[in-house]
Structure 1
């Protein structure tokens, strides 16, 4: 995308407003907590101290609105502590000539590394930089620095107390995440009725997994209905695909396909009912037609793998409904004993060493987080020093703007830059007009500041430009309690905002982190991960008695993470003003899209085979585990070939699959009539799965083939495919 087109696209994205607002009750609660801090401090200590307390309460409240599954009170306390430390150190450094820019650069570097912990930590850390810049401008002596730091921390503590005393939709984030997963499964079941190769978005399942990680405090208080349902959802997903698939499930046409559609329709209704019950904490209520469809005589119509998948689906749905029906009366506060399989999230105190280890792992040249930390430190410090040269009293707004604008990727940085400038200009102008016309006193200014805080909390989901308007007006009213010349102050703030935004955008352009250059790496990781997942599934057929269920689970989670990283990098790359051919010479855009479809097909086939994994008492399928190991090695080599820009080669896998089929056919011909316990059903699944896997590998070869130039010696013809492989129509993306 050319630079002008990229700037136009990101500018429009920054100014776009969603037709959505936050929870008014939560917004009022957050603003009320700020009021509980500001007005008493203003009455007892004065406007300077009230400003510090208000800043701490506001930023701590903002932290609780971030997308996080930690207890909101812990987010508020952590933000308050961070604000107190940054303010105290800032006060100590500002009195020593030349020391504050050094501290600012070091603190910004640490704030940039905080993105390794996730977006919530990164945003909160960036907010501590802005508060440091604002509060240290207030006239105060060094001995009282500790008092101002404690007031900032007090704001976070009060927010935590208000959240504890007045909870709003307790466990709402976890409920919504789990309900979204079941709603996505319901939509997936409906789409499978008409398209047996339909894809599912794994993002809701990934989010539900993140939501299921609990701190010790949460584990003791988790609602019973949130226990175990996520695991059931994970098992429902492959079962739905196994019923609909024409090769390894119901027949493509005829009564069996009609019965499969009925089952999928009934499952969709049940899954929707489960999603509604989980989201609201209510009993399960669903149409009577759904249980009738699932309880019908499946055995008289469905056969083989489709019958086994249908029975497993009805069992899983019944288990999920029973899990909700048997939950306790008090679903919000009933403590339950922790289970050994619970996902553990460190508490607030234990997060410090975890954060240090995570940040230390980012200290290498190829880390995008390290690049962002260096860029944030340099941009904010440069904006601060340049603004100081102007001699304006409100020069700190430049560095504050730069800290809030800069983000790890191009799209967010430039869209936020436009939104920040536009929102700041509008907010400062409107607030200044109110100050000039109404001349509010100290207490009235505090009231207006609290109102603006409520507006900012309410519009966080609407768009960054509108939220910035409210925040800018809040800062104007808050700092206006110490009377000054309003028009001159507004002029300086707007000018410094423009300077800070320009420095941030230019800084990113000079020291960018292009996701386009990382697309081959993300593609290679995805290819390697899907090979490990397929190998783990095949190992379950090769040794049912000794298989480790956690191995398949770990491989699936790794596959989801790599797929998500690939899609995120691809989305960000689409908005970057760089040449794909220059920054990603290993893969063209066409190759990238075709490779994505082929890897998606590999994922889907592996998922279908996982749905039919045999029990521990089943007979092993000879050669399945060995084929899986070979497949894992071949996909790892293919990932390395993508990074090196060389053709991939799956000849060994094709040869192994053909040899396995010949050996299996020979063994079948030599066998006499065996008992009904003969493991032919599992062999049938493995045989069909191997054929589909090899077909998908052939597609991946064709996708990664260079469009021009001779093929290097030793590489296989990419167009070859094994005899008897599945038809091309089955190679759609999973």
Structure 2
């Protein structure tokens, strides 16, 4: 992609206003927190304290609106404490330019590295830098600095208290995550009716698993509806795929396929009903036609073999899902780690070693987070020096814009830069017009600032340009409380915002951290994770008496994480104005589709795992024994741009096929697994031999995987 095209796409993305679900009650609660803090400080008669405390309440409330499964009061208190510390340190160094620039460089470097811990931590770090830049102009002594820092912490304390005192939809985030996972399963079931190998995005299941992590105290209060349906959703997905697959499930045409389509339609209806019940904490209302379809026909079962087993398993799982959501009451769950009644979420103190390990892991030159931290640190210092040198005053707005715009990837940085400048222009124009025409007093400015905070909280998910407009108006009215001239504020805001945005964009062009060159490594990691998942499943076929479900489960989660990492990298790479010299966009897409098919085939094998007392399969053991070294060689070949070979593995499968008396699920799935690996090799070798492969697949009667 060329630079002009990349800039055009990122600008369009930044200016896009999306339709999003609004949460007015939560927005009112956050705005009330800001209003309480401003009102108390104005009642004391100190506008400067009102401005400082309002920034603390605003930033603490802003972080609690981010997507996080942790309790919101914890986020508000944690961010408030970090804001108070950064503010006080900034106050101590503000009188000396060199000392403050050094402090700003070090603090911004740490805040940039916070993105390695997670997006919420990264945003919190960004807020601490912003508060350091804004409020250091307010105090005049160390005692005053302590007072301002304490008020900023009190602003976060007020937000946390409001969240506890006026909860809105308790467990709402967890309910929505689980309902989204069930709704995704329902949509998957309906798509399988028309496309037997339709792809499935595991992201909703990953979010539901993250949402199910609770503390022991939360586990004792968690609604029954949030206990079991997630695990059932995990088990339903492979059964749906197994029933629809034309190789190991119902035939592609005929009465059995019609019966499978009816079952899939009924499964979608039931899963949708369960999702609605979970989301709204109500009873499950099942459509009568779906219940009739899930009954065994009077003429007897219409499906045979593996398809019949999948159908019976599906009906049983759907019945369990309905039963688990029929009683919206609370119950006590086991709270000791040895009893796996729930997934334990680590406490805040236990997260510290995890965060330190993440920072240590990313503290290398090739890490995009480390390069982002260096980039934002240099830009913040340069922007502060330039803003101070310019004859405007309020020079902190240039580095403030840069820090708020910059993200670890190219697309978000440029999109946010364009959106922030355009939104700032609109916000400044509106708020400036109000100030010029109405000349509001201190109380009216405070009320207008709270109004703009409410609008920002309400419209936060519609786009950066909208929120930037609201923030611009909020800042102008807030500074109007302290007696700042609105004409000077408007002029400074526009010019310095433009300067900060230009610095942010130039920094990424001069010191990039491109994702495109890492695509082969991401593919190799996904192939390796898929291989471990396939080996864990094949091991169960080879030694069914040695049941190790946890091994299979952990391998599946690793494969999902690797797929999510690949999709995130591919999405970032698509927006970058660089090309991968050894991997075209078409080849990358085809390789990703092949690995997705590999994971789907392994999942189908998992759906038909043998019982504990079943006979071991020496052929499956031999296939797994050859698959392990073949995958190790393939992973190295992907990274080193060598050719992939699967002939030895194909020879083992052919011996298995020749020695087998019947076409079992494992044998047919292993054949599809080889097809996926061949497709992966062809994608990376730019399609050589694709015509012969397609002809051979057609001769065997299978259908190509979905692209």
TM over 0.5: yes
Q: TM-score, normalised by structure 2?
A: 0.96
Determine the structure 2 residue equivalent to 1:16.
16
Counterpart check, 1:321 vs 2:294: no
- 2:139–2:145: 8 Å Cα contact kept in structure 1? no
Deviation readout 1:472-518 (Å, 9 max, x if unpaired): 11111111111132212211121111111110100111111111111
Determine the structure 2 residue equivalent to 1:731.
704
Determine the structure 2 residue equivalent to 1:269.
269
Determine the structure 2 residue equivalent to 1:204.
204
Determine the structure 2 residue equivalent to 1:596.
592
**1:289-688 superposed matches below 5 A:** 289-297=289-297, 300-328=301-329, 336-338=333-335, 340-578=340-578, 580=579, 584-662=580-658, 664-665=659-660, 668=661, 684-688=664-668
- 2:583–2:684: 8 Å Cα contact kept in structure 1? yes
Compare 720-729 and 319-328 and name the one that shifted more: 720-729
**1:26-175 superposed matches below 5 A:** 26-44=26-44, 46-175=46-175
Task: Give the match's secondary structure for 2:317.
Answer: helix
Shift of 1:614: 1.5
Deviation readout 1:308-341 (Å, 9 max, x if unpaired): 111111111111111111442xx5xx65443525
Aligned equivalents of 1:300, 1:542: Cα separation in 2? 31
Deviation readout 1:267-298 (Å, 9 max, x if unpaired): 11101100100110101111111122112249
Task: Give the match's secondary structure for 2:495.
Answer: helix
Shift of 1:600: 2.1
Aligned equivalents of 1:588, 1:357: Cα separation in 2? 34
Aligned equivalents of 2:55, 2:701: Cα separation in 1? 61
Aligned equivalents of 2:575, 2:642: Cα separation in 1? 27
- 1:95–1:142: 8 Å Cα contact kept in structure 2? no
- 2:541–2:617: 8 Å Cα contact kept in structure 1? yes
Aligned equivalents of 2:332, 2:481: Cα separation in 1? 47
- 1:527–1:639: 8 Å Cα contact kept in structure 2? yes
- 2:334–2:340: 8 Å Cα contact kept in structure 1? no
Aligned equivalents of 2:89, 2:515: Cα separation in 1? 35
- 1:691–1:726: 8 Å Cα contact kept in structure 2? no
Aligned equivalents of 2:657, 2:702: Cα separation in 1? 22
Shift of 1:75: 1.0
Shift of 1:21: 5.1
Aligned equivalents of 2:281, 2:442: Cα separation in 1? 45
Aligned equivalents of 2:511, 2:286: Cα separation in 1? 55
Deviation readout 1:375-413 (Å, 9 max, x if unpaired): 111111111112122143111000100000100111100
Shift of 1:138: 1.2
Deviation readout 1:436-475 (Å, 9 max, x if unpaired): 2222222221111111100110110111111111111111
Compare 283-292 and 38-47 and name the one that shifted more: 38-47
Shift of 1:212: 1.3
Aligned equivalents of 1:236, 1:301: Cα separation in 2? 21
Aligned equivalents of 1:41, 1:684: Cα separation in 2? 75
Shift of 1:726: 7.5
Q: TM-score, normalised by structure 1?
A: 0.92
Shift of 1:301: 1.3
Task: Give the match's secondary structure for 2:617.
Answer: coil
Determine the structure 2 residue equivalent to 1:182.
182
Compare 421-430 and 697-706 and name the one that shifted more: 697-706
Change (3 A) 1:378 1:341: farther
Q: How many residues align?
A: 703
Aligned equivalents of 2:120, 2:529: Cα separation in 1? 27
Shift of 1:52: 1.2
Change (3 A) 1:337 1:165: farther
Counterpart check, 1:280 vs 2:253: no
Aligned equivalents of 2:350, 2:635: Cα separation in 1? 37
- 2:19–2:462: 8 Å Cα contact kept in structure 1? yes
Task: Give the match's secondary structure for 2:397.
Answer: helix
Aligned equivalents of 1:694, 1:152: Cα separation in 2? 60
Change (3 A) 1:531 1:49: same
Counterpart check, 1:703 vs 2:683: yes
RMSD: 2.1
Deviation readout 1:180-209 (Å, 9 max, x if unpaired): 111111111111112111111211111111
Aligned equivalents of 2:652, 2:96: Cα separation in 1? 72
Shift of 1:641: 0.9
Shift of 1:521: 1.0
